[in-house]
């Protein structure tokens, strides 16, 4: 295994309950998967950008955008698809780059990749942002609470921490971008789903249930996830903002393989 090799892997399945064929949806004149590939290439921190997919049309679009497609079979989640794609790839660090965030800020990718390259003792890492008004009670916003060293204690769609007493600045909104040391990723994919993961619909709870230390870093910016066709207009606005400022905009996403 090449410890210095860092890979970005974009899981992109064709089937989606709410938005079939989503990776090929046209956004600002290009397939969505092409935008995500471009953001990963712009980050300039990866040795290679891969797209893990179950569909030849997505594979062709990914290759045209500059990524190397890898065909995968059925997977429980996006992270499981990423693990299947890199099982035989030489790498030290692997980032699961969400395939439905066309305006993903490259700064977030650099932050996570550089942290894991420099901290080989950290098996898994993700990002968060300070919560805003209304986040705590919104089940579409995933919250995270951490210990004093920045390790995740729990993620939930429910209000955590429960605001029995007013304490400013402790609500953290999870940003669904994940990075792994490769062996930790393969371990994660080998574990069965847990009851907590199924109950909340959050795959990161599998890591916590199995005792994997998960560091939560402050994100550089947020981005918009495309879950349904009505989200396309917001994504196009986010792309325009990213082009102007280089920073993301506020959005929602759970980190699942949608």
**Domain locations along the chain:** 6-245
pLDDT on residue 192: 94
Q: What pLDDT score does 251 carry?
A: 44
CA dist list (Å): 247 to 40, 204, 208, 224: 14, 25, 30, 12
Number of H helices, E strands in the chain: 8, 11
How far apart are alpha carbons 163 and 166 in whole angstroms?
6
**Residue 16: what pLDDT?**
79
Cβ contact 36:101 at 8 Å: yes
Phi-psi region of 123 (alpha: psi -120 to 50; beta: other; left: phi over 0): alpha
Rounded CA separation 36/104 (Å): 7
Q: Is the peptide bond before 100 cis (omega within 30 degrees of 0)?
A: no
Write down the CATH superfamily of domain 6-245.
Spore Coat Polysaccharide Biosynthesis Protein SpsA; Chain A (3.90.550.10)
pLDDT at residue 246, rounded to an integer: 62
- pTM (2 decimals)? 0.91
Q: What is the Cα–Cα distance from 28 to 128, expressed in whole angstroms?
A: 28
Crossing angle for the helix pair 78-86 and 182-190, to the nearest 10 degrees: 120
Q: Which residue has the tokens 């942290």?
A: 115
* Amino acid 169: pLDDT: 86
Spans of the chain below 70 pLDDT: 1, 246-258
Residue 1: what pLDDT?
Answer: 54
């Amino acid at each position: 295994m090449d410890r210095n090799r860092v890979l970005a892997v974009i899981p992109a399945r064709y089937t989606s309950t709410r938005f079939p064929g989503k990776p090929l949806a046209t956004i600002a004149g290009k397939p969505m998967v092409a935008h995500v590939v471009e953001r990963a290439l712009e980050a300039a921190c990866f040795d290679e950008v891969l797209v893990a997919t179950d569909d030849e049309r997505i594979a062709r679009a990914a290759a045209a955008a500059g990524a190397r497609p890898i065909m995968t079979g059925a997977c429980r989640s996006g992270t499981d698809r990423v693990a299947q794609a890199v099982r035989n790839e030489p790498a030290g660090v692997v980032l699961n780059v969400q395939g439905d965030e066309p305006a993903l800020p490259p700064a977030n990718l650099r932050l996570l990749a550089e942290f894991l390259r420099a901290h080989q003792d950290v098996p898994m890492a993700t990002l968060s942002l300070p919560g805003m008004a209304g986040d705590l009670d919104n089940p579409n916003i995933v919250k995270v609470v951490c210990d004093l060293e920045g390790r995740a204690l729990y993620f939930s769609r429910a209000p955590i921490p429960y605001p029995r007493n007013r304490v400013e600045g402790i609500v953290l909104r999870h940003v669904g971008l994940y990075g792994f040391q490769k062996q930790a990723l393969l371990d994660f994919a080998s574990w069965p789903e847990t009851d907590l993961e199924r109950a909340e619909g959050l795959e990161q709870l599998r890591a916590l249930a199995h005792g994997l230390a998960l560091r939560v870093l402050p994100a550089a910016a947020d981005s918009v996830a495309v879950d349904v066709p009505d989200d396309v207009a917001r994504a196009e606005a986010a792309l325009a903002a990213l082009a102007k400022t280089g920073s993301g905009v506020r959005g929602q996403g759970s980190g699942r393989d949608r």
